[in-house]
Amino acid sequence: MRCLTAQRNFTESLAAYSIVCYFLQIKDRHNGNVLIDDQGHIVHIDFGFMLSNSPGGVNFEAAPFKLTRELLEVMDSNSEGQPSELFDYFKVLIIQGFLACRKHHDRLLLLVRMMSKSGLPCFKAGDRAVKAMEKRFALQLTEVQSVQMVLGLISDSLDAWRTRQYDYYQRLLNGIL
């Protein structure tokens, strides 16, 4: 496989992963739970913490999604989000993915509502978990305002301090690089 194809696969799957992490509030996103397959795709392997629960009950991961220096480097960018063809492509994919999810928010929310009484730990906040997810769709915003909001989410995620600290904690405590 060519390196450029793997980089593109990585960028596309990272964009999809980022959107899913944002809407479902997936936590515990340390490097031991985020793998890369032999074609460059991101694979998250642990969905134990999402929506309203967090590891240790502490919501340490505040960034909308994981966008560390290492992930940016694969897209030929840096911790400041230096423009590159792949990072610009990532931003376009995030925007398109967000807008597509907004169009289908009713179906996505219905799936979560159907599970909300399941007793799963991610629904410990009850209906508040569903309402919080609904709020993340930003339905009160126009499409143009939504694009600006998504660019803000990307900016907030860029090499976020708390994300770096969580990876550092996992490296010290569990030896996870």
> What is the CATH code of the structural domain delimited by 3-174?
1.10.1070.11
Rounded to whole angstroms, the Cα distance separating 44 from 156 reads: 21
Interacting residues of 174 by C-beta distance below 8 A, sequence separation 6+ = 32
Q: What is the DSSP letter of 64?
A: S
Rounded-to-integer distance, Cα 160 and Cα 19, Å = 17
Q: What is residue 59's predicted lDDT score, i.e. its pLDDT? A: 66
C-alpha to C-alpha distance for 99 and 93, rounded to whole angstroms: 10
Q: Is the pLDDT of residue 109 over 60?
A: yes
Instruction: Quickly state the pLDDT bin for 29 (edges 50, 70, 90).
Output: low
Amino acid in position 128: R
Q: Break the chain into its structural domains and give their ranges.
A: 3-174
Is 167's pLDDT higher than 80?
Answer: no
Grade residue 94 by pLDDT with cuts at 50, 70 and 90: very high
Chain length of the chain = 177
- Non-local (6+) Cβ contacts of 60 within 8 A are 54, 162, 165, 166
* SS3 category, 81: coil
CA-to-CA distance for 8 and 74, rounded, in angstroms? Answer: 9
| pLDDT (mean) for 51-74 | 78
- Prediction pTM value: 0.85
| CA dihedral sign of residues 81, 42, 58, 114 | positive
